[in-house]
Amino acid sequence: MTSPQTALVLHGGAGTILRSKMDPQKEIKYRAGLQAALQVGRALLEKGSSALDAAEATVKALEDNPLYNAGKGAVYAGDGKHYLDASIMRGDNREAGSVAGITGVKNPISLARSVMENSRYVMMVGIGAEAFAKQQGLEMVPPAYFHDELRYKQWLEIKDTTLTQLDHAHKGEKNWSTVGAVALDQNGNIASATSTGGMTNKQFGRVGDTPIIGSGCYANNLTCGVCCTGHGEPFMRSVVAYDLSCLMEYKGMSLAEAARHLVQEKLLAIEGEGGLIALDAEGNYVLEFNCEGMYRAAWVSGQEEYVGIYKDE
């Protein structure tokens, strides 16, 4: 009897990502970062680890890479601080954990998992979540750890205004640099994990879709695991991650059909830009987006690894 297919998909954000404006050296670094994170999760799955462990480890690798807006290198909020959001969900029993508006926690995705496994709650925010992190013995870091000079300069350009800016965006462009991963293990279990630093100069404690279970993250062994990236408000209003699962469960759509409908029709109808990654229980995956590009990678057991950035690859 053969083991079920194992698989892993991940993303590092989506938006106006154009070959014509991409620095060649930076493109090499982006691809290397995506592949390195993919290999972290792949190695765990190949040795029989759980989808949950693989999804968390993959996102941690992206949080630790300052190229992506999550963990180290997160964008600056309006008050000059970093506020981080993350969520994680397992598809076998649909347990979930999330955190929002936290500072000082090196890997927010690990705190989200701790909320899921070591508390009675699903979501914690702000100073309460940070106190819980310390209680759980998670690694805490000073504000300087998250600093990235490019992100700091982006914030200085709009500091003391009510404007917000999306990560790595040139004038007239939009990039959403959330990170996420969905894994399928040898036991047929699915897990999803996602993390972000939000938007540059965000005000009033704004929180996007990333820590909202059902909007930015969802997992159900009967259907799929999903992680979203994009303009958070439309994704929240459409409950995109859960809706993808529902279209499969209640309407009998395939993963590809459901993802295409949501991203190319339903989201666009309310000016929702971005994309999603998803895996079903058979190891089928989608990397669907309605903008110029999405930092993305995928691996299915027995197949070659895939790494992409632009729409035409």
The DSSP call for residue 169 is P
Task: Let me know if 161 is a catalytic residue.
Answer: no
Joined together, the tokens standing for residue 42 give 């792949």
Query: Is 27 within 8 Å of 148 (Cβ atoms)?
Result: no
Dist. CA 150–CA 256, nearest whole Å: 36
The catalytic position among 58, 178, 210, 223 is 178
Residue 234 has phi, psi (to 5 degrees) of -65, -35
Query: Is 38 within 8 Å of 297 (Cβ atoms)?
Result: yes
Query: Is 11 within 8 Å of 194 (Cβ atoms)?
Result: no
Dist. CA 210–CA 183, nearest whole Å: 17
Using alpha carbons, list the distances in angstroms from residue 31 to 43, 107, 233, 292.
18, 22, 28, 16
Residue 112 has phi, psi (to 5 degrees) of -60, -40
Our CA dihedral for 233, 239, 244, 250, rounded to 10 degrees, sits at -150
What's the length of the chain? 313
The DSSP call for residue 233 is H
Residues designated catalytic: 178
